[in-house]
Structure 1
Amino acid sequence: MSPSCVSKKAGLLLFPLLSMSAITPMTLYASEPPKVCMVLDKGGKDDRSFNESAVLGFNRAIKEFPVNKTSKFVEPKNDAQISQFFRSFATSAKCDLIIAIGYNPSEYLPDLASKYPNKKFLAVDTNLEGKNTTKNIRSITFAEHDGSFLVGAIAAMKSTTGKIGFVGGMDIPLIHRFETGYSAGAKYINPKIKISTAYVGITPDAWNNPAKAKELAHAQYNEGTDVIYQVAANSGQGVFDSAEQMNKKSKTKHYAIGVDSNQNWINPKVILTSMVKRVDNAVYLAIKDFSNETFNTDHTTFNLKDGGVDWAYDEHNKKFFTDAQLTEINGIKEKIINGKIIVPDYYKLDKK
């Protein structure tokens, strides 16, 4: 797009030698507010987890900032739809900031960003720093291994059988990062604890298969596990259902741990806590920066120190914890923040 074309579109008088770097998103669309479009991961906006958190941040930003009211988000059902949505957003829909929620949708951004260098992109939960050749992608990731260490410690504290479990959604490095932190946190409390792990599948459909997750949870509970951490998006509901069902026929109490959003309210009888990732804040702040013309295209990680990840403690789960346990949990949190506990990061492990 030449500067002269921009001046016609924006209704501004620009000098012919004005460089594109001097043109901001709001300048380009001075005649109307910029449009923001978001592609969710499979599992949909009602997954009570990652996608739902993103939608909360999106809706809040659309209400508060000067962006086009035709801004929208979509819920793909398959990979073909993800690709179609992105192409439409970059062309006919004329979106100015395009957001990808989750590992799978974010993988489409590098190619799209290189084809449309005048648009801005946000990848949530994936670091695309090395693929950001046109410098128009902001990458947001989270220190999920640190938050998972905390809930792993909680699982070990609350386990009476010495056996805990992990049910992941899609078998990918990102979810192994959760698993690694969780295992380390549990062993910090009880070095002899036994940890069972299982994954729903190897395709994105694994995020939306509660029946399979329930089957995996049942298998772990039946082998003596009494706490399971689910990192499976909408599939995770199956783990909650399994714990509730097991408690109806067993004297042993079975519990689960939620993820991404604060899921404590979903089933307060079985959910000990949730490992919260503030996806809502990541989306909200990106839209805020874009509307304020301060949108950078760096990689940023949200962690325990800034509240980007944490464990959820509220009226729904406070009955599970003694004052001594709260002191211990928050002490572990402070040690991680201060560097006194170094949580193993799956991305940095020697996996030979």
Structure 2
Amino acid sequence: MTITRTLMGAAATLALSAGLAAAQDSEPGLIIDLGGKFDKSFNESAYVGAQRWVEDTGGEYAEIELANEAQREQTMRRMAERGANPVVVLGFANASTLEAVAPDYPETDFVIVDMVVEQPNVKSVVFSEHEGSYLVGMMAGMASETGTVSFIGGMDVPLISKFACGYAQGVKAVNPDANVIVNMTGTTPAAWNDPVKGAELTRSQISQGSDVVFAAAGGTGIGVLQAAADEGILSIGVDSNQNHLHPGSVLTSMVKRVDNAVYDAFTASAAGELETGITVMGLENEGVAYAMDENNADLITEEMIAVVEEASDAIVAGEIQVHDYLSDNSCPVDL
């Protein structure tokens, strides 16, 4: 296990205001989950948020990348004992560990991204993935020429079914007769980092008629997007904007602003304003979104954007209710 620290430059140090320096009694800590900080997805988004905070403030933070499951508790305790505050941990798999660790460090604030941990010194940041997935599902349904689209998840857990269910609802909203194929990569954490299996699943789905595939599978998704590009179908990225990975092949990306969650936690703590409890990031506060840029501009028509934007406004207004799989572990459409 290695610990790295991002240090402030001399010029940035001079530019840092005295007020901020006084408020920031401790440097924050970031624990990168399995898969590495350059997974081009969830972890990388968090890293980008931390780096943006460094650039904006001249601050510094401690960082650890997990190498295996056995390191979760040791790493959290190590961060807290070295004085990092807040300690930001990524991913639902850290929830049970944080439940046990947080009470032992009552003076340390913890932030968990992607799960709820109910402890007085924990801030939980969760996302309305079903809403963003609904919008990219609408895009998939409108872009599909075969009427069959697909989804590949990473580890088979309820959170990933939340993506799949939102996606399927969006597809069916624009094409009630569409067929949605859903596959999960596996049942262990290895499912997040198996691009070869992701590619195999993609080719299998293509053989069943899929011409648009949405990957919510961490590093495994890189194999999904590559196979889709190789086979000439469209793909949809996740967490980070992955449109640039295969320009003209990635229809869009369902972006989760994990970067904002990390940036906001670091910023609030430095100002002495970090509030524990639960924060939900959805369409109304730009916590989730679909990605548009020069890499997918030719794939998305003005009509598609108009339909999706109307739906987005209706979701925010409460006029469209996208079912959250986590509310009852069920989906109103077949998966």
TM (norm. structure 1) is: 0.85
Q: CA deviation at 1:83?
A: 2.4
Q: CA deviation at 1:96?
A: 2.1
Q: CA deviation at 1:335?
A: 1.2
Q: Is the 8 A contact 2:23 2:270 kept in 1?
A: no
Q: CA deviation at 1:112?
A: 0.9
Q: Is the 8 A contact 2:126 2:279 kept in 1?
A: yes
Q: Is the 8 A contact 2:86 2:109 kept in 1?
A: yes
- CA deviations on 1:280-310 (whole Å, 9 max, x unpaired) are 0011011111010011101000111111101
Could you say if the C-alpha distance between residues 166 and 31 of structure 1 is closer, same or farther in structure 2, counting changes exceeding 3 Å?
closer
Counterpart residue number, 1:212? 197
> Could you list the runs of 4 or more consecutive aligned residues of structure 1 that deviate by over 6 angstroms after TM superposition?
29-32
Q: CA deviation at 1:127?
A: 1.5
Name the aligned partner's letter for residue 77 of structure 1: A
How many Å separate the matches in 1 of 2:200 and 2:84?
41
Counterpart residue number, 1:261? 240
How many Å separate the matches in 1 of 2:25 and 2:55?
13
Counterpart residue number, 2:73? 83
Q: Is the 8 A contact 2:62 2:84 kept in 1?
A: no
Q: CA deviation at 1:64?
A: 3.3
How many Å separate the matches in 2 of 1:291 and 1:66?
12
Match of 2:99 among 107, 110, 114: 110
Q: Is the 8 A contact 1:65 1:291 kept in 2?
A: no
Match of 2:26 among 31, 34, 37: 34
Between structure 1 and structure 2, the one with the greater Rg is 1
Unaligned runs of 5+ residues in structure 2 are 1-20
Could you say if the C-alpha distance between residues 351 and 331 of structure 1 is closer, same or farther in structure 2, counting changes exceeding 3 Å?
closer
Q: CA deviation at 1:350?
A: 5.9
How many Å separate the matches in 2 of 1:270 and 1:84?
42
Q: CA deviation at 1:351?
A: 4.3
How many Å separate the matches in 2 of 1:85 and 1:225?
42
Match of 2:181 among 170, 182, 196: 196
In percent, how many aligned pairs have the same letter? Answer: 38
Does residue 171 (structure 1) correspond to residue 150 (structure 2)? The answer is: no
Match of 1:341 among 309, 313, 320: 320
How many Å separate the matches in 1 of 2:128 and 2:24?
37
Counterpart residue number, 1:278? 257
Counterpart residue number, 1:61? 53
Counterpart residue number, 1:21? none
Q: CA deviation at 1:269?
A: 2.6
Does residue 95 (structure 1) correspond to residue 84 (structure 2)? The answer is: yes
Could you say if the C-alpha distance between residues 178 and 351 of structure 1 is closer, same or farther in structure 2, counting changes exceeding 3 Å?
closer
How many Å separate the matches in 2 of 1:31 and 1:318?
44
How many Å separate the matches in 2 of 1:33 and 1:350?
42
Q: Is the 8 A contact 1:100 1:106 kept in 2?
A: no
Secondary structure of the corresponding residue to residue 188 of structure 1: helix
- CA deviations on 1:248-280 (whole Å, 9 max, x unpaired) are xxxxxx110000111101101310000011000
TM (norm. structure 2) is: 0.89
Name the aligned partner's letter for residue 36 of structure 1: P
Does residue 331 (structure 1) correspond to residue 310 (structure 2)? The answer is: yes
Does residue 230 (structure 1) correspond to residue 215 (structure 2)? The answer is: yes
Q: Is the 8 A contact 1:66 1:291 kept in 2?
A: no
